[in-house]
A and B are shown apart, each in its own frame.
Chain A
Amino acid sequence: NAGVTQTPKFRILKIGQSMTLQCTQDMNHNYMYWYRQDPGMGLKLIYYSVGAGITDKGEVPNGYNVSRSTTEDFPLRLELAAPSQTSVYFCASSPKADYYEQYFGPGTRLTVT
């Protein structure tokens, strides 16, 4: 059981570069989420999706884009990376919101210098 997988585990970007963080789940979950976790802080929701073809903004969407072409994949795109985007990024999935738990990936640690 792979669950939620994320790649890469670590990445260093220069200011202004772009990259895509990959997230894949094999549990056939409809709901998927992207969070960022800054040092010593809680999770902030960037984007979420309730199914293939449907995405919506969370609390901190600026500087990011997402797409959801399949149930399994939910990539997060960073355009024009900035130092403020240095963070750990977590992808999560859930069969539904409400009382279902979220399953988290191991995270991607991104540094922008």
Chain B
Amino acid sequence: GDSVTQMEGPVTLSEEACLTINCTYTATGYPSLFWYVQYPGEGLQLLLKATKADDKGSNKGFEATYRKETTSFHLEKGSVQVSDSAVYFCALSLSTGNQFYFGTGTSLTVIP
């Protein structure tokens, strides 16, 4: 079935370090892919998205490229800040369905 597999955490980085959070997917059709972020005590909010192969989503210094050949959508940031500490969720949706599929989330803590 359709699913998202996400790199397990927790991840702890020093400020200004590089970040990569891996996400791979399984889908029967042509999904749209998303990264959501959840700050402590809050709901999820969209960070970025890509709707077709080779698209790159970007926002707040984060980037992710939709790679159909490797069925991946890894989240990257070149220099993390303390304010990036949050839980990050990879997700997909299909044009043929009514549901979103979320990964299990990766907790990121950035220390000064």
- In this complex, which of B6, B32, B94, B100 has the most chain A Cβ atoms within 10 angstroms of its Cβ? B100
B73 at the interface (CB under 8 A from A): no
Chain B residues near A98: list those with CB within 8 A.
32, 93-95
Assuming the contacts A41-B104, A42-B103, asked whether A97 and B95 have C-beta atoms less than 8 A apart, the reply is yes
Q: Judging by beta carbons under 8 Å apart, are B100 and A33 in contact?
A: yes
Q: How far is the CB of A84 from chain B (nearest CB, A)?
A: 19
| Contact A99:B32 (CB < 8 A) given known A104-B43, A104-B44, A107-B43 | yes
- A42 and B105 within 8 A (CB): yes
Count B interface residues, CB 8 Å. Answer: 22
A43 within 8 A of B: yes
Q: Is A48 in the interface zone, CB < 8 Å from B?
A: yes
Q: How far is the CA of A8 from the CA of B93 in the complex (A)?
A: 29
A90 to B100, CA, bound (A): 14
Is A101's CB under 8 angstroms from B99's CB?
A: no
Are the C-beta atoms of B100 and A99 separated by less than 8 Å?
Answer: no
Cβ–Cβ contact A99 & B98, under 8 A: no
Is B32 a contact partner of A102 (Cβ separation < 8 A)? no
8 tightest A-B CB contacts, nearest first: A104-B43, A99-B32, A42-B104, A99-B51, A101-B46, A98-B95, A43-B102, A104-B44
7 sample A-B contacts, Cβ–Cβ < 8 Å, listed by A number: A41-B104, A42-B104, A43-B89, A48-B99, A97-B93, A99-B95, A104-B44
**Which A residues have a C-beta under 8 Å from some C-beta of B?**
4, 31, 33, 35, 41-43, 45, 48, 50, 56, 58, 90, 92, 94, 97-102, 104-107
